[in-house]
Amino acid sequence: MSGFLFQAFVYLAASVIAVPIAKRLGLGSVLGYLIAGIVIGPVIGLVGNETQNLQHFAEFGVVMMLFIVGLELEPKVLWQMRRRLIGLGGLQVGLTSAVIAAGAFALGLSWQMAIASGLILSLSSTAIVLQTLNEKHMLKGEGGQASFSVLLFQDIAVIPMLALIPLLAVPGLSGMGQDAGAAHGAGQGSGHADVAANATDGAGHATMSLVDGLPGWGVTLVTLGAIAAVVLGGIYLSRPLFRFIADSRLREMFTAAALLLVIAIALLMTLVGLSPALGTFLAGVVLANSEYRHELEADIEPFKGLLLGLFFITVGAGIDFEILFADVGTIVGLTLAVMAAKAIVLLVLARLFRLPSPDHLLFALGLAQAGEFGFVLLSFTLQNSVLDTDTVRMLSLVVAISMLLTPGLFILYDKVLARRGAGDSRDDDAIDDAGPVIIAGHGRFGQVVNRLLMSNGHRTVVIDHSAELVDSLRRFGSKMFYGDASRPDLLHAAGIENAAILVVAIDDEEQAVEIVRMVKASHPHVHVIARASDRLAVYRLYRAGADDIVREMFDSSLRAGRYALEALGMHKFRARKAVRHFEDFDRQTLRELAQHWREDVDVFDNEEYISLARERNQMVIDAMAGANREMHDRTDRGWTPPPKPTEPAGRKAEPAGRKADAKTHTEKPVTKPAARKRRVATTPPGK
């Protein structure tokens, strides 16, 4: 137990210290993790061989990441990407493999070993690239999308590679390979390799499999069946299942269900010999249109982040400095040669596929490293006697160092782009237009706001925590999501970073205030419109930083009051004016009172507040009595004719009477604020 706690302490402490510093220095989180790994591993030796076992566990972070990427990719977007996915991805893997294999052959490797090396090094690191692009908000751009296509193709390509590599086996190496497999490769051998072993020659490791011993057509059938299960399950089963869980109102159950979903799919894919990352990606795409998408994303995100971080640490910790320093020149030279070759192939492809020219470098530099699948394939080649131990060790270092260099290349890219001026990225902003509006809470209030915005052609993202409501409203075609809007991670998943406006229309006042405070603190650019139940809520929301605060009953009460005035015989236009004046006065009073309201002092003990409230009451009362000229002017000004020339008394009587008449009407609305104000000052707050 203490051993486990110590390890957990070392890994967490290393990342907590290194990552924020790296981020602060503009190096990005990936480099922070890698450095943390190097420090606790080879440098001070706090962790040792167990990192390799940990790495297989941490690779599950990649699986989760692809699930989340899938969630953000609607099926139709994926379909639009098909040309790039197959064309760009296929050419990248094919050409890079060929170039590197040719180089390796020239360096004196046998053609089998050269091809194996080419295949292994053609892959890039999904973990590093996607994490970095996400962090820099570049995944949505052309360059980011192209990079993603290539990475996705590579993930698919691993499977045929696993089938191909055993065919390259060199008989003479076999004995050596077995030894090395036990000594070194045992650590590196991963879930993927196991799967592959099962899928291809079943006789290897004795793990579970659904396709063991089946004939070829049987394997195909089971495989297709598994994929169909994921797709159909996603479409038909997920909704009732999540609804059932959501109704339990236990947040951790939803988290558990989300994890269960990802793990179940990964397991199923492993059993039929497919890549778990691919399976969860597919499930993500299927669920991209689901109302539970943001909630799922928010639940998986922290696990993904931690696991990926752990993965990067293990990469850093796994760098064997002894071997590296034994032959520094060769290894660094090889690494640079591999990266240069990959970057050149990528540049050619970027031109061929007409990517926008500022993105060429991003694409080429971003994908120039070798990736985590490289480790997997390397140990697999060792087991299958394709490569010898020395070559595998050397190539492992090449992979690790190229990964270590990647964050540096991203920084280089940033600098190059910065020099070219911000003009290009400005355009992207404009295309994106004003970010969407997020509406938290879709009750009677949020609904009207949503309908009004949608009818004016604005995109809205609506979040509500009632699964029932979400279900029924989605039938009407609203874009709604299930979730608890007071969770920062959920707002993040809903896109608060790029949102222009957040409308907080939830019932729970505490939560509403908390959301406003949080959003204004971390995303001050978002314009926050909040609904308040009463005056005290207004003060709290005002203090929390809400830009616009709407008292939920105020406007409708004023309308009811206006109808009453009209029914009492006041002219409609005059009634409207009276209401407007009343409203202005009340709003101004509220604004002034808000200045004096203090969160820590009860309103009844707040002397300043009470005296101001009194003063404003008196103004209304005075106005009623006609004593306060200013107030009277304010309510009865407008279209005031010049004084009449002196006239015979007889003609004057009638209009004067009418005027008095009208006056009794105006007095009616102004009695109202007096009553209201008194209530605030002398009765306990509404709640």
Partner 1 sequence: MKRKILILFAHPAQERSEVNVELAKAAAALDFVTLVDLYGDYPDYHIDVEREQKRLLKHDVIVFLHPFYWYSTPALLKEWQDLVLEYGFAYGAKGTRLAGKIFFSALTAGGPEKAYKRRGYNHFTLRELLAPLEQTANLCGMVYLPPFALYASRRAYEEGRIGDHVAAFTGLLTALHEDRMPLAAAARHDLLNQATIRAAKSGETPARKEVPA
643 binds partner 1 (CB under 8 A): yes
Among 215, 216, 329, 642, binds partner 1 (CB under 8 A): 642
Element of type H or E holding 85: none
Number of residues that bind partner 1 (CB under 8 A): 11
Our CB check for partner 1 shows the closer of 248 and 588 to be 588
216 binds partner 1 (CB under 8 A): no
Among 2, 640, 646, 683, binds partner 1 (CB under 8 A): 640
Q: Please report how close the Cβ of residue 628 comes to partner 1 at its closest, in angstroms.
A: 15
| Residue in 334, 331, 367, 375 with CA at minimum distance from that of residue 103 | 334
Q: Please report how close the Cβ of residue 529 comes to partner 1 at its closest, in angstroms.
A: 17
Q: Measure the CA angle with vertex 89, ends 88 and 95; round to 5°.
A: 85
- Binding to partner 1 (CB under 8 A) within 544-603 occurs at 577, 580, 584
Question: Which range, of 82-90, 326-334, 356-364, 641-649, touches partner 1 by CB under 8 A?
Answer: 641-649
Instruction: Compute the chain's Rg from CA coordinates.
Output: 34
Query: What x/- string results for residues 68 through 107 when contact with partner 1 is judged by CB under 8 A?
Result: ----------------------------------------
Our CB check for partner 1 shows the closer of 498 and 628 to be 628
Contact present, 437 and 500 (Cβ < 8 Å) = yes
Length of the chain: 687
533 HSE (CA, 13 A, CB side) = 11
Question: Which range, of 122-130, 262-270, 638-646, 659-667, touches partner 1 by CB under 8 A?
Answer: 638-646
d(CA 529, CA 440): 10
CA 599 centroid distance within chain: 33
238 HSE (CA, 13 A, CB side) = 24
Q: Please report how close the Cβ of residue 634 comes to partner 1 at its closest, in angstroms.
A: 8
Our CB check for partner 1 shows the closer of 510 and 584 to be 584
Question: Which range, of 70-78, 127-135, 496-504, 640-648, touches partner 1 by CB under 8 A?
Answer: 640-648
Q: Please report how close the Cβ of residue 539 comes to partner 1 at its closest, in angstroms.
A: 25
Among 45, 638, 645, 650, binds partner 1 (CB under 8 A): 638
Our CB check for partner 1 shows the closer of 83 and 580 to be 580
Q: In whole angstroms, how far apart are CA 456 and each of 450, 453, 464, 531? A: 10, 5, 22, 21
Q: What six digits make up the tokens of 206?
A: 């004795």
Our CB check for partner 1 shows the closer of 321 and 563 to be 563
Contact present, 298 and 486 (Cβ < 8 Å) = no
Residues facing residue 206 across a β-bridge: none
Among 639, 644, 645, 651, binds partner 1 (CB under 8 A): 639
457 binds partner 1 (CB under 8 A): no
Question: Which range, of 530-538, 611-619, 632-640, 669-677, touches partner 1 by CB under 8 A?
Answer: 632-640
Coil, helix or strand for 598?
Answer: coil
| Greatest C-alpha distance within the chain | 130
Our CB check for partner 1 shows the closer of 455 and 683 to be 455
Q: In whole angstroms, how far apart are CA 641 and each of 571, 635, 644, 651? A: 18, 15, 8, 17
| Residue in 415, 373, 418 with CA at minimum distance from that of residue 396 | 373
Q: Please report how close the Cβ of residue 620 comes to partner 1 at its closest, in angstroms.
A: 18
Among 641, 648, 650, 684, binds partner 1 (CB under 8 A): 641
Buried b (16+ CB within 10 A) or exposed e, 213-238: eeeeeebeebbeebbeebeebbeeeb
| Binding positions for partner 1, rule: CB under 8 A | 577, 580, 584, 634, 637-643
